[in-house]
Amino acid sequence: MLDIRRVSTSRWWHKKKSWIFFGVFLFLFFVRISKGSIYKDFYYFISRPFWPGDFQKEIILNSVNKEYLIKLNLLNKDNIRLRELLSLQESSKEDNISAAVISRKTGGWWRQIILNKGSKDGVEIGNIVIGPGGLLGRVNNTSLFTSSVTLITSPESKLGVWVERLQINGLLVGLGDDFPSLILYSKDVDLKVGDFVSSSPASTLLPPNIPIGIVQSIEEPFKTKKTAKISLLAKPHAIDWVQILKVKIK
């Protein structure tokens, strides 16, 4: 009788294990075909009690002050005629969506943040994300409740920028660290530490005049170009709240 019970229990346990393995496989399959949307929406709900409050750290206040100074400088320049001629993108405050940062990966190769606003809120891939201080990145993926943002520090990020003092366009390339690289395709330009960098008036990806950062150091020039490290005004590791810009084509 004891042997019969053991055999019956063993069969029951093996059947239960099979269903457990099948359930795990089915869950992973759904995660795979949804490209992580189910996981991110689940994370949205379980992380909700821990979302950041309205309090901003001192580093954020310093970034905001720098942002205002740069904007005042940029607003002295008249870019309206150029934007009209090139049919560039622009946004208005009515298009902004406020969002909280609920997850961040700012210390590794894949530099991104996850926000608590998704497709149900009108967020779309390609939308611009700014924080206190200036530009943070662009939305690269959305689920129903969340959106993922590729930061401008990511190696995937390449953006046209503008050096205000020199009145020259350049390319900002993420390197996977905290200081993206500014590339100017002329080794003879008089770039200086402290020069302001903003989004380019000629950019087809960003609205013009979004503050980005300040030249921190200048590297030895190559034959045909000059490069520099940029200290960002918006600090992804310290920002809790952001604005999503729904950019329009004029």
Residue 93 has pLDDT above 60, yes or no: no
Chain-centre distance for alpha carbon 158: 12
Query: What is the Cα–Cα distance from 12 to 107, expressed in whole angstroms?
Result: 47
**In this structure, what is the dihedral angle of CA atoms 212, 215, 221, 223, given to the nearest 10 degrees?**
20
Q: Determine whether 20 is exposed, middle or buried from the number of CB atoms within 10 Å of its CB (0-12, 13-18, 19+).
A: exposed
Quick check: helix, strand or coil at residue 173? strand
Query: What is the Cα–Cα distance from 7 to 144, expressed in whole angstroms?
Result: 48
Residue 180 has pLDDT above 60, yes or no: yes
pLDDT of residue 235: 87
Domain ranges of the chain: 2-50, 56-250
Residue 17 has pLDDT above 80, yes or no: no
Query: What is the Cα–Cα distance from 232 to 197, expressed in whole angstroms?
Result: 9
pLDDT of residue 222: 74
186-233 residue pLDDT tens:
878 889 999 999 998 887 788 888 999 999 999 877 777 899 999 999
Query: What is the Cα–Cα distance from 131 to 21, expressed in whole angstroms?
Result: 44
pLDDT of residue 249: 40
CATH entry, 56-250, from 3.30.230.10, 3.40.50.800, 1.20.140.10, 2.40.10.340: 2.40.10.340
105-130 residue pLDDT tens:
766 666 899 999 999 999 999 999 99
